[in-house]
């Protein structure tokens, strides 16, 4: 019996080439993506890595995205390589221009590095969103279209705008705590299939009845 699409397929639905599972198209070891997380872009969903910019091995930062995330067209993850030295007279990156200016290459310690960018599980990111370096977005969060995310977003909160601000919680604290406890995204495929009706129901009391 089939319990959902193949998580190792590039296109979960061969009839919809605009949607691909990101995990199966990334090549950089510093991009880590969970099962079933997809990017939706009719202009080339399989080119997700092009939307992760300024990402250099020598810096060492990672982009980590959880399972079951929905990422819309126009996403841009700006990584730490975009940062310029800020503790000197000028922010101009002389060193990358060559011609002898390499002597001004900054030490990593002189750059405002923000660490890894971490997106939780079951996160929905709308169209044309920009996420700045080192941002953490919690499980179940929603990011509105055209947002620029400059601060962390807690689990199960809705945020939007430029700069992105918290708009409201999706659920009350009790339900959020329960969802973070049962971690449905870590269930085996058979269990997710069994509880699909509950996971997709507007009757939130049903999910509260599910225990670990």
User: pLDDT digit string (tens) for 83-111?
Assistant: 998 888 999 989 889 999 999 888 888 88
Would you place residue 2 in the very low, low, confident or very high pLDDT band (cuts 50, 70, 90)?
confident
Backbone angles phi, psi at 18, to 5 degrees: -80, -5
> What is residue 191's predicted lDDT score, i.e. its pLDDT?
96
Which pLDDT belongs to residue 66?
Answer: 98
84 catalytic? Reply is yes
Q: Which domains does the chain have, with CATH numbers?
A: 19-170 (2.160.10.10), 172-211 (no CATH)
- Catalytic member of 51, 54, 84, 178: 84
Give the number of other CB atoms < 10 A from CB of residue 209: 8
Cα–Cα distance, 164 to 144 (Å, whole number): 9
Beta carbons of 141 and 152 less than 8 angstroms apart: no
Mean pLDDT across 58-79: 97
* Residue 61 vs residues 37, 89, 106, 113, 159: alpha-carbon distances, Å: 20, 26, 17, 9, 24
pLDDT digits (tens, 9 = 90+) for 3-13: 999 999 999 99
Q: Which pLDDT band, with edges at 50, 70 and 90, does 82 fall under?
A: very high
Q: What is the pLDDT of residues 165-175, one digit of tens each?
A: 999 999 999 99
- Out of 18-27, 39-48, 52-61, 107-116, least confident range: 107-116
């Amino acid at each position: 019996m089939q319990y959902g699409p193949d998580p190792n397929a590039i296109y979960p639905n061969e009839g919809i080439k605009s949607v691909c599972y990101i995990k199966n198209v990334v090549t950089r070891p510093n991009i880590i993506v969970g099962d079933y997380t997809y990017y939706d872009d009719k202009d080339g969903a399989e080119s997700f890595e092009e939307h992760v910019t300024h990402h250099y091995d020598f810096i060492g930062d990672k982009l980590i995205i959880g399972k079951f995330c929905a990422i819309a067209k126009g996403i841009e993850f700006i990584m730490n390589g975009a940062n310029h030295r800020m503790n000197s007279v000028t922010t101009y990156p002389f060193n990358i221009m060559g011609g002898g200016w390499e002597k001004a290459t900054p030490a990593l310690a002189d750059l405002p590095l923000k660490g890894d960018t971490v997106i939780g599980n079951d996160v929905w990111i709308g169209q044309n969103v920009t996420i700045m370096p080192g941002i953490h977005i919690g499980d179940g969060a929603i990011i509105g279209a055209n947002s620029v995310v400059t601060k962390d977003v807690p689990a199960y909160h809705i945020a939007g705008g430029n700069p992105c601000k918290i708009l409201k919680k999706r659920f009350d604290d009790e339900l959020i705590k329960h969802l973070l406890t049962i971690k449905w995204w870590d269930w085996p495929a058979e269990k997710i299939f069994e509880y699909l009706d509950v996971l997709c129901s507007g009757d939130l009391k049903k999910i509260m009845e599910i225990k670990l």
